[in-house]
């Protein structure tokens, strides 16, 4: 196992710039997720790490070895693709044996009939390795089936098993769960997280699904437009986004964004509500971001509450999300409420109050603006 470090990685296809100087360090044994919308460059970055794509500039270092000129097969990395890439004419066991045969046996030892006779020990050893991995993944009873006889989840485990038998320094996964149905994706998220903890091997996982990134990874790297916007623990990315694009992308339902104004004293007023904390910012227009869970129902309007007209109540069982129209439909506000809120009729006037200190503020450039009190606390800490 080893650290993986990327320095100033750039890549373009023709006149289209895909990666704009990416710096990224992946710690030995961690589960890092590259997350972002389609076309942001995350899969290209993964392929550059794997050696399947050449970067235009920058360095890829695995451990203490610069692998810029090292072919993919010599980087000791295992790639798990979205399509699983299993050989349809081979059994599960043969699919898992193939990378070991190619790596550990000579051409003569791989011969169908005489190979096992010439080198019985190596053949026995790689079969035992496949059996051990199959037991870890609970696919031992599937070894003699072919991929066409397996479910999507079983094929996913086989693809993982074929990668695991090589004992690579890291697993690279390119949206491996996207072909599964919703219920199976949730199940496989838990299985992958458990597998990572059991193996202790580095996982670099590409996805556009924020739920996968939030639930599985130790750290997540949010990418957009070829840039790495934020790299941090999932909870920090959700609770403390540094850019409005990160705040919008991470979180479901999406964060509420409302126009606001900062006065000369640093006080922020949003739709008639004055925020509790003061900004370290010049006067002007800003954007306030509020997560739906930080808004609570109020019986009556007040100076600390927002008022809107109910246009939809989204019932998710334990939670209800109220969609409110503000300024005659110019803005939408989503607030989380208890199931009792379903009794509210569509068109009703609804008041919601903000939890103290829960608002985020973003400048015109989209960057996060910090409250003066928060900055002072950070300095003390």
- For the segment 338-361, what is each residue's pLDDT rounded down to a tens digit? 888 899 999 999 999 988 778 999
pLDDT in tens, 210-251: 999 999 999 999 999 999 999 999 999 999 999 999 999 999
Whether 11 and 87 map to the same domain: the answer is yes
Q: How many CB atoms lie within 10 A of CB 141?
A: 9
Say yes or no to pLDDT of 12 above 90: yes
* 245 in a structural domain: no
Whether 284 and 194 map to the same domain: the answer is no
Q: What is the C-alpha to C-alpha distance for residues 37 and 361, in angstroms, rounded to an integer?
A: 23
Identify the residue with better confidence: 188 or 244. Answer: 244
* 296 in a structural domain: yes
Say yes or no to pLDDT of 307 above 60: yes
Residue 81: exposure state from Cβ atoms within 10 A (0-12, 13-18, ≥19)? middle
Predicted confidence at residue 374, as pLDDT, reads 52
Q: Residue 135 has which token pair?
A: 């037991």
| Residue in 308, 318, 304 with CA at minimum distance from that of residue 359 | 304
Whether 261 and 233 map to the same domain: the answer is no
Distances in Å between the Cα of 84 and the Cα atoms of 160, 172, 252 are 9, 12, 29
Structural domain span for residue 375: 253-308+331-337+351-380
Predicted confidence at residue 365, as pLDDT, reads 94
Total number of domains constituting the chain: 2
Q: Of 239, 265, 285, which residue is a domain's last?
A: 239
Whether 221 and 268 map to the same domain: the answer is no
Predicted confidence at residue 376, as pLDDT, reads 43
Q: Residue 241 has which token pair?
A: 């986004």
* 217 in a structural domain: yes
Strand partners, 181: none
Distances in Å between the Cα of 307 and the Cα atoms of 118, 320, 336 are 81, 18, 15
Whether 234 and 360 map to the same domain: the answer is no
Distances in Å between the Cα of 294 and the Cα atoms of 239, 334, 337, 369 are 11, 10, 10, 19
* 188 in a structural domain: yes
Q: What is the C-alpha to C-alpha distance for residues 95 and 317, in angstroms, rounded to an integer?
A: 43
Say yes or no to pLDDT of 311 above 90: yes
Whether 230 and 258 map to the same domain: the answer is no
Predicted confidence at residue 44, as pLDDT, reads 96
Report whether 61 contacts 67 (CB < 8 A).
yes
Q: What's the whole-number mean pLDDT along residues 292-310?
A: 88
Q: What's the whole-number mean pLDDT along residues 167-193?
A: 87
CATH number at residue 257: 2.40.50
CATH number at residue 86: 3.40.50.300
* 197 in a structural domain: yes
The strand order across the sheet containing 284-290 reads 273-278, 267-270, 256-262, 284-290, 360-362, 368-369
* 80 in a structural domain: yes
Q: Of 210, 239, 268, which residue is a domain's last?
A: 239
Predicted confidence at residue 377, as pLDDT, reads 42
Confidence of residue 373 (pLDDT cuts 50, 70, 90): low
Q: What's the whole-number mean pLDDT along residues 170-195?
A: 86
* Max mean pLDDT range (181-185, 292-296, 314-318): 292-296
Whether 184 and 263 map to the same domain: the answer is no
Which residue shows structure tokens 């697993």? 171
* 206 in a structural domain: yes
Whether 272 and 198 map to the same domain: the answer is no
| Residue in 168, 15, 206 with CA at minimum distance from that of residue 78 | 168
Q: What is the C-alpha to C-alpha distance for residues 350 and 306, in angstroms, rounded to an integer?
A: 8
Q: What is the C-alpha to C-alpha distance for residues 28 and 288, in angstroms, rounded to an integer?
A: 38
Q: What is the C-alpha to C-alpha distance for residues 165 and 292, in angstroms, rounded to an integer?
A: 45
Whether 34 and 9 map to the same domain: the answer is yes
Q: Of 209, 239, 269, which residue is a domain's last?
A: 239
Predicted confidence at residue 84, as pLDDT, reads 77
Whether 233 and 261 map to the same domain: the answer is no
Whether 204 and 269 map to the same domain: the answer is no
Q: What's the whole-number mean pLDDT along residues 156-168?
A: 88
Whether 359 and 224 map to the same domain: the answer is no
Q: Exposed e or buried b for every residue in 84-94, given b needs 16+ CB within 10 A?
A: bebeeeebbbe
* 344 in a structural domain: no
Q: What is the C-alpha to C-alpha distance for residues 246 and 365, in angstroms, rounded to an integer?
A: 13
């Amino acid at each position: 196992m080893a650290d993986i470090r990327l320095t100033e990685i750039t890549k373009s296809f023709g006149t289209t710039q895909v990666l704009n100087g990416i710096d990224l360090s992946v710690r030995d044994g961690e589960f890092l997720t590259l997350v972002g919308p389609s076309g942001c460059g995350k899969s290209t970055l993964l392929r550059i790490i794997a050696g399947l794509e050449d970067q235009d500039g920058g360095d890829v270092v695995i451990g203490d070895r610069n692998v810029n000129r090292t072919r993919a097969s010599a980087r000791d990395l295992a790639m798990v693709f979205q399509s699983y890439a299993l050989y349809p004419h081979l059994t599960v066991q043969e699919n898992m044996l193939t990378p070991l045969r190619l790596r550990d046996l000579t051409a003569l030892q791989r011969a169908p009939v005489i190979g096992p006779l010439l080198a019985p020990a190596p053949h026995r050893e790689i079969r035992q390795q496949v059996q051990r991995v199959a037991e870890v993944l609970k696919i031992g009873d599937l070894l003699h089936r072919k991929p066409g006889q397996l479910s999507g989840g079983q094929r996913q485990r086989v693809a993982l098993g074929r990668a695991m038998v090589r004992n690579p320094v890291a697993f690279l996964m390119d949206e491996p769960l996207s072909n599964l149905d919703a219920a199976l994706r949730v199940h496989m998220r838990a299985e992958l997280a458990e597998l990572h903890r059991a193996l202790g091997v580095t996982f670099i996982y590409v996805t556009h699904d924020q739920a996968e990134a939030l639930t599985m990874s130790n750290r997540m790297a949010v990418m957009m437009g070829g840039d790495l916007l934020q790299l941090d623990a999932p909870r920090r990315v959700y609770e403390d986004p540094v850019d409005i694009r990160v705040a919008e992308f991470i979180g479901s339902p999406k964060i509420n964004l409302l126009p606001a104004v900062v006065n000369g004293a640093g006080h922020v007023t949003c739709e008639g509500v004055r925020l509790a904390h003061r900004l370290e910012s010049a006067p002007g227009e800003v954007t306030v971001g509020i997560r739906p869970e930080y808004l609570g129902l109020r019986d009556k309007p007040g100076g600390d509450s927002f008022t809107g007209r109910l246009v939809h109540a989204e019932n998710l069982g334990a939670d209800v999300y109220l969609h409110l129209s503000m300024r005659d439909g110019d803005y939408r506000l989503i607030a989380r409420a208890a199931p009792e809120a379903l009794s509210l009729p569509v068109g009703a006037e609804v008041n919601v109050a903000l939890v103290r200190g829960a608002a985020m503020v973003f400048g015109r450039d989209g960057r996060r603006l910090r409250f003066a009190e928060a900055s002072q606390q950070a300095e003390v800490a």
